[in-house]
Copies of this chain bind each other. A is one copy, B any other.
Amino acid sequence: MLDFAMKKSRLLLLLLPLSLSAQKPNIIFMIGDGMGPSYTAAYRYYHDDPKTKEVERTIYDELFVGSCSTYSYENPAVVTDSAAAATALATGVKTRNGHIGVDENNNVLPTLLEKAKLAGYQTAMVVTSTLTHATPASFIAHHNDREEEVEIAKDYLKKNSAKQLKFDLLMGGGLKYFKQAHKSFKQQLKTEKIALYTDVKSLDVIKKLPAMVFIDDNKPPFAIDAKKQGLGKLRTKKMTDKALSLMDEKRPFFMMIEGSQIDWCGHSNDIACVMREMDDFTEAIKVAKAYVDKHKNTLLIITADHSTGGLGIGNKISKKSTLAKKERKRKAYTWRPELIKAVNISAKEMTKKVYHLKSSIKMKDLFQKYMKIELTKKELKKIKEKRAKPCEKFNKCKLHDYITKLVDKRSETGWTTHGHTAVDVPIFAYGNSALLFHGFMDNTDISKKIATLLK
């Protein structure tokens, strides 16, 4: 009886926001690529003030409502890639790893962004990857191979069934793919009356939509490596701020915002890089949340496509501790974010610096300067040995992995893989219809629930 009463009240609650709002709600859909449950927990401890006894809560703690499964179409491929996961979030349909906006048989799947446009919405995407990368691509393109970004770029200017351009605003990297995809890209945009901005500094001058804004010809640098000029480290925040300000308040909008490079840092097992990407993404979430506070008819929904790297907070109990056994167990069962905060460079850039080191500078000083790491003699020797071998890609070679391990060992950070894992990812929601996303669901359910709001 009581149970039934509760269920009924809950149902009423869920329907409430739908029935009360006359205008269709704005939807801000934020995706922290690779941002699994250990990422948001680690981020809390990373930002904890050690001077207070309490651990300070983050915006993730404040907005947490549920959790979702991420497996992709193929059995037994329980571990999704970003293409299948983004397609699930964009279309509500499971597909094969590598597929962008198409099902397992390459049939085109309508996306939330496309549905929103047909329903009279303004549509926008803000990413820190190339605009043709798996996540944004799955919201606007249809192709069975995520690697073919030139092919994918061709879809962006195609009109929908109502002969409309599918997007109002796109912000991100990867201009080069559009140039390769379209013979005279600039001319084509002119014909279509789409404004093109290719200078990060021009963010302030954008006044009119539709527009394409490129902050990089290819992939933008990691936040941790970003220079102060241009958009700096908080590029997602700044783009989000601008994008929201460009939305016409008379019409609803659908905006997908991705913290794309959280995943890339995760693939690199580079914890300092991860935390700095999350700093940027978190600031963007705060901007979006403030927007919802001012525009109540807006849903802010945040999730991850999957978790990357199998990040573990806290590693082995340090055997080197000088404390007595019992005390060691008590004190050393820990994770040391202060050592991660001290690192001011990605392992990728650090690897480059080591390979390009001038003879006038000491290796030890380089690690002290950029990573606040005091190398042991053994570590110094190892680094020199690894440096003697060629490195094709600075984020893939053995020296790179050794550098990440220097930080992991000191901070007690663990990783299980350079790929993804299948752990469920958290869901955060705020504002209009946020209650729809409480509890456990599949990633396709998130998409289906958002789709009901567009109707």
Taking the full assembly, how many copies of this chain does it contain? 2
Q: What B residues does A419 contact at CB under 8 A?
A: 314-317, 333
Given the complex, which residues of B lie within 8 Å of A45, measured CB to CB? Answer: 71, 76, 78, 422
State which residues 9-36 of A face B: CB under 8 Å.
9-10, 12-13, 16-17, 20-21
Question: Do residues A67 and B334 form an inter-chain contact, with CB atoms below 8 A?
Answer: no
Q: CA of A1 to CA of B296 in the docked complex: distance in angstroms?
A: 8
For residue A60, give the distance in angstroms from its CB to the closest CB of chain B. 8
With A416-B312, A417-B312 already in contact, the answer to whether A75 and B50 are too (CB < 8 A) is yes
Q: How far is B45's CA from A417's CA once the two chains are assembled, in angstroms?
A: 19
Is A230 part of the contact surface with B, judged by Cβ < 8 Å?
no
Interface residues on A, range: 35 or more
Residue from B12, B97, B313, B421 within 8 A of A421 (CB atoms): B313
Would B422 and A330 count as touching, CB distance under 8 A? no
State A16–B53 Cα separation when bound (angstroms). Answer: 34
Q: Which of A178-186, A215-223, A353-361, A435-443 contacts B (4 or more CB under 8 A)?
A: A435-443
Query: In the complex the two chains form, is B78's CB within 8 Å of A53's CB?
Result: no
Known contacts: A38-B423, A55-B71, A77-B334. The answer to whether A21 contacts B2 by CB under 8 A is: yes
Assess whether A415 is interfacial by the CB under 8 Å rule.
yes
Residues of B within 8 A of A338 (CB): 76
Task: From the candidates B61, B77, B80, B314, name the one contacting A422 in the complex (CB within 8 A).
Answer: B314
Closest to A306 in B: B314
User: Assuming A13-B10, A74-B330, A96-B330, is B79 touching A314 (CB within 8 A)?
Assistant: yes
A41 within 8 A of B: yes
| Distance between A77 CB and nearest chain B CB, rounded to angstroms | 5
Assess whether B333 is in contact with A97, with CB atoms less than 8 Å apart. Answer: yes
CB within 8 A of A81: which of B21, B66, B78, B329?
A: B329
Q: Which of B55, B297, B418 contacts A69 (CB 8 A)?
A: B55
Give the CA-CA distance A296 to B7 in the complex, in Å: 14
Chain B, Cβ-Cβ closest to A58: B440
Q: How far is the CB of A339 from chain B (nearest CB, A)?
A: 10
CB distance from A221 to the nearest CB of B (A): 25
Residues of B within 8 A of A330 (CB): 74, 77, 81, 96-98
> Looking across the interface, which residue of chain B has its beta carbon closest to that of A80?
B333
B interface footprint on A63-95 (CB within 8 Å = 1, 0 otherwise): 011110101001111111100000000000000
Q: Which residues of B contact A333 (CB under 8 A)?
A: 77, 79-81, 97, 419-420
Across-interface contacts of A136 in B (CB, < 8 A): none
Cβ of A232 within 8 Å of any chain B Cβ, yes or no, is no
Q: Assess A313 versus B423: contact at CB under 8 Å? Given A76-B334, A79-B333, A439-B65.
A: yes
Residue of B nearest to A61 (CB): B440
In this complex, the member of A17, A76, A80, A331 whose beta carbon has the largest number of chain B beta carbons within 10 angstroms is A76
Is A139 part of the binding interface, using a Cβ–Cβ cutoff of 8 Å? no
Residue of chain B at shortest CB distance from A71:
B55
The answer on a CB contact under 8 Å between A6 and B16 is yes
Residue A44 CB within 8 A of the other chain: yes
Minimal Cβ-Cβ distance residue in B for A4 = B296
Residue A174 CB within 8 A of the other chain: no
A439 CB to nearest B CB, Å: 6
User: With contacts A97-B333, A329-B98 known, is A416 near B310, CB below 8 A?
Assistant: yes
Chain B: CB-nearest residue to A310: B312
From B62, B71, B97, B311, give the contact of A329 (CB < 8 A).
B97
The answer to the question of A290 belonging to the interface, with a C-beta cut-off of 8 Å to chain B, is no
Report if A177 contacts B (CB, 8 A).
no
Selected A-B contacts with CB under 8 Å, 20 pairs:
A2-B17, A2-B297, A6-B435, A9-B13, A9-B16, A48-B75, A53-B75, A60-B440, A61-B69, A65-B438, A77-B333, A78-B314, A81-B330, A81-B333, A96-B330, A98-B326, A312-B417, A312-B421, A313-B422, A314-B420
Excluding A74-B330, A310-B310, A316-B417, 20 further A-B contacts by CB distance (< 8 Å) are A10-B435, A37-B37, A41-B423, A44-B69, A45-B422, A57-B440, A64-B66, A65-B439, A76-B335, A76-B336, A81-B330, A97-B333, A98-B326, A310-B414, A312-B312, A314-B419, A315-B417, A315-B419, A316-B418, A438-B439
